[in-house]
Structure 1
């Protein structure tokens, strides 16, 4: 009986750790107002916080293949304004965001809501990768900001209803192809006060390949540059070209749609292949998480004292 109880306790705490290692968006902010949990956020498998790992999965869109709005409200926002999303671990206290070992870039896309995310409709409005000056990833900045990621909307996009899709790509096991973890959710917004721009889009899924340099990447080796995956960030007043994103290693390491400036750096093939957790820039061991999220069972000695 004692052995059975020990196993129950072990499994419980193992699942608690796994839950806290993962993350999802649970709050949205606009006009400096943080809304109640789930408000304006499309449902995703009963607010499931596990990642998507298959770059070709339909779940990559909004962490669910069911793109119905499910009575989700839509928030009025102004073009050019700053909004925010808050990442946290499902069912955890407010301050638990996700495990710091889950390092990687942040990206934000938009698509017309009428498209329901289908087709070449997603355009990128924000990206932040690796900060060469501070040796920190965007995911770490999010943790340090209590889970908040602020996003400035393009000032010239056409008025209308959009899906806003913030995403963190965790690279702690991306030294293997298929090891990257995608944490994305969709917020429903209604833009007003904009212009007439309708940026060219890309498909999701389809925007990433499992072997892309920014998806298959070893964070445990010396980082000389990080190629942010996906298309270029749409900048207000620019053309609607949706070519590949620029590499990022500048100390500011952020691109959004506000000022027309894209910060570039060289990519490095040295960061893509071999796993080496003793690297200069690693402050934690990698966290391997089997696809099935199997939790190993503790062994109990079956022999009883007589």
Structure 2
């Protein structure tokens, strides 16, 4: 009887571990690159993915492994994948079974070679997020639900200076009341053909340190009495960086009053300038759940998928 009970408990624990997930490959501009294989021996693995040991979650925002689900170091067989501004990266999960919670994607520039960089010391900036798409906290459509359905998530590389970067895909599972589960995985990239500048400090965070356990988007109870009437959700972390701004834009802006003066000087007609904030080339300009600027500084806002449109 005792043996049977122990077997049942062991089976339950195995089932719980198997019910989570992690990124296992990447498709970049049509080329597939291997991600880390958590359940294979580390010996001999060659991957653009940083190593991680299992599909199990991180349960506290102060965990030392919070950046990339490991000790911050590269593997002995670490590779980099080539990218350029506008490249499409599709992260592919081996499995995922939690529908509630956001998808969050960050990048960080390494000070030199990424293989020598500790992921816990980098300045991470957010390039994409998908939280509560529709419905309510109690019964809604979430970014994690899209991962559950497709086991994939697309994101475009913004306009950045040349160099080596890390990209971090994070799933935050909210299916247990006030018990967030974090699933981050990272990969290394080499960017060429870039320009512009890195985001300002208002857009960057370090991991651990970028979230706290009391953040509104972290401490969530989707089974609370009020959850069926709540239709908004704040994804944790800084604002999504659109590729040009030096600091986060305020939620509302007041335009300064214009003083009109008379002059005898004849001024040539000026080109029309879009009113309000604009999105630079390769920045996000639309998609389901997107709430930022929608006017492109140049080019047109082009639909990539239902959840992401980009200035091209």
Name the TM-score, length of structure 2 as normaliser. Answer: 0.69
Query: In structure 2, what is the equivalent of residue 71 of structure 1?
Result: 77
State the 1:53 CA deviation: 1.1
Asked whether the equivalents of residues 159 and 196 of structure 1 are also in contact (C-alpha less than 8 Å), the reply is no
Once the two structures are superposed, residues 130-155 of structure 1 have per-residue CA deviations (whole angstroms, 9 ceiling, x without a partner) of 1116931101101111x11111110x
Query: In structure 2, what is the equivalent of residue 22 of structure 1?
Result: 20
Query: In structure 2, what is the equivalent of residue 153 of structure 1?
Result: 157
Once the two structures are superposed, residues 110-144 of structure 1 have per-residue CA deviations (whole angstroms, 9 ceiling, x without a partner) of 11133533446101000000111693110110111
Aligned length: 237
Q: C-alpha separation between the residues in 2 aligned to 1:191 and 1:52? A: 29
Asked whether the equivalents of residues 42 and 70 of structure 1 are also in contact (C-alpha less than 8 Å), the reply is no
Query: In structure 2, what is the equivalent of residue 231 of structure 1?
Result: 238
In the alignment, does 2:178 pair up with 1:172?
Answer: no
State the 1:37 CA deviation: 4.7
Higher strand proportion: 2
Q: C-alpha separation between the residues in 2 aligned to 1:49 and 1:235? A: 31
Q: C-alpha separation between the residues in 1 aligned to 2:284 and 2:185? A: 26
State the 1:213 CA deviation: 0.5
Once the two structures are superposed, residues 176-233 of structure 1 have per-residue CA deviations (whole angstroms, 9 ceiling, x without a partner) of 3xx1110001101111121132113211111101111100112232232001111011
In the alignment, does 2:181 pair up with 1:181?
Answer: yes
Q: Which has the higher contact order (CA 8 A, sep 6+)?
A: 1
Asked whether the equivalents of residues 131 and 142 of structure 2 are also in contact (C-alpha less than 8 Å), the reply is yes
Q: C-alpha separation between the residues in 1 aligned to 2:92 and 2:196? A: 30
In the alignment, does 2:145 pair up with 1:140?
Answer: yes
State the 1:7 CA deviation: 3.7
State the 1:35 CA deviation: 2.8
Work out which of the residue numbers 215, 218, 227 in structure 2 matches 1:215. 218
Asked whether the equivalents of residues 231 and 243 of structure 1 are also in contact (C-alpha less than 8 Å), the reply is no
State the 1:34 CA deviation: 2.6
SS in 2 for 1:136: strand
**What is the RMSD computed on CA atoms of the aligned residues?**
2.7
State the 1:27 CA deviation: 1.0
Task: Name stretches of at least 5 consecutive residues in structure 1 with no aligned partner.
Answer: 89-96, 247-256, 266-306
Query: In structure 2, what is the equivalent of residue 128 of structure 1?
Result: 130
Work out which of the residue numbers 190, 205, 214 in structure 2 matches 1:202. 205
Q: C-alpha separation between the residues in 2 aligned to 1:71 and 1:158? A: 26
Q: C-alpha separation between the residues in 2 aligned to 1:54 and 1:157? A: 31
Q: C-alpha separation between the residues in 2 aligned to 1:15 and 1:34? A: 33
In the alignment, does 2:283 pair up with 1:258?
Answer: yes
Task: Name stretches of at least 5 consecutive residues in structure 2 with no aligned partner.
Answer: 37-46, 112-116, 253-281, 293-312
Asked whether the equivalents of residues 34 and 49 of structure 2 are also in contact (C-alpha less than 8 Å), the reply is no
Query: In structure 2, what is the equivalent of residue 299 of structure 1?
Result: none
| Bigger radius of gyration | 2
State the 1:62 CA deviation: 0.2
Asked whether the equivalents of residues 229 and 244 of structure 1 are also in contact (C-alpha less than 8 Å), the reply is no
Query: In structure 1, what is the equivalent of residue 89 of structure 2?
Result: 83
SS in 2 for 1:217: coil
> Residue 120 and residue 189 in structure 1: after superposition, are their counterparts in 2 closer, same or farther (change >3 A)?
closer
Q: C-alpha separation between the residues in 2 aligned to 1:187 and 1:76? A: 11
State the 1:83 CA deviation: 0.5
In the alignment, does 2:100 pair up with 1:107?
Answer: no
Q: C-alpha separation between the residues in 2 aligned to 1:180 and 1:20? A: 18
> Residue 144 and residue 9 in structure 1: after superposition, are their counterparts in 2 closer, same or farther (change >3 A)?
same
Asked whether the equivalents of residues 110 and 122 of structure 2 are also in contact (C-alpha less than 8 Å), the reply is no
Query: In structure 2, what is the equivalent of residue 13 of structure 1?
Result: 11
